[in-house]
Copies of this chain bind each other. A is one copy, B any other.
Amino acid sequence: MRNDQREVNQLRNINITTNYISHPEGSVLIEMGNTKVICNASIEDRVPPFMRGQGKGWITAEYAMLPRATAQRNIRESSKGKVSGRTMEIQRLIGRALRSVVDLDQIGERTVWIDCDVIQADGGTRTASITGAFVAMSLAFAKLVEAKTLKKTPIQDYLAAISVGVLTNGTEILDLNYEEDSEAAVDMNIVMTGEGEFVEIQGTGEEATFTPNQLQNMLKLGEEGIQQLVKIQKELLADKLLID
């Protein structure tokens, strides 16, 4: 039995509030258990210099935590004057993941800025960010379609992410909370599409290793979890996201 009474293959309670902040083109608050992330999607009518003149768009992501999103207060990265390696890894991951399900040619020379701001953290903030950001981005594109700025959504498939891991006792589990994550021997983040294809897998044994068999078990757990997340996304987006 897990520390919060979940089954090994059970997700935490999920709640996604759409249109959470009024200014962005797309905005959601995603809650996975006690992890809460505001995901905003902004559309800018230009692309970064390295992409100009190609007629295609770009999607980029930024990720941050409020100082007291965590049990111990963290120093703001703006005060430190630089972004940590961990933050950079996460924002690169979010951006790559979202780009994999969007036809960048269809959005023209626009940039989609994804801002994931963790206001309360209890493990799985990067995967919650991806799952929530997909919804925020979908809403932003839907707004462009409604405004007839785009003919149809450039999104090709649903996208969600989840963590899996191996506890030190060898049990594979789905959707680790902070306490589980701290104790796990192996931590893996999986990003998949609605069609069940992989977008990204990142498995890490911090001061530990994992067997091929454990890898297969984690992949299976992750796949099941992502199917549940995509189901929630489909209900939320309903008529907003008519993928051919």
Partner-B contacts on A (CB < 8 A) = 21-24, 27, 34, 38, 40, 42, 44, 62, 64, 66-71, 73, 76-89, 91-92, 96, 99-101, 104, 113, 115, 117, 119-120, 157, 193, 196-212, 215, 219
Contact = CB atoms under 8 A, between A and B. Distances in A.
17 contacts: A21-B68, A23-B120, A24-B68, A38-B66, A62-B67, A62-B76, A73-B115, A77-B78, A82-B82, A85-B85, A86-B92, A89-B89, A99-B206, A100-B208, A197-B209, A202-B202, A212-B219
Given A73-B42, A78-B78, A119-B38, A68 B211 contact: no
Contact of A64 (B40, B69, B78, B100): B78
A199 B193 contact: no
A115 B81 contact: no
Contacts of A208: 100
Stoichiometry, copies per complex: 6
At the interface, is chain A mostly helix, strand, loop or mixed? mixed
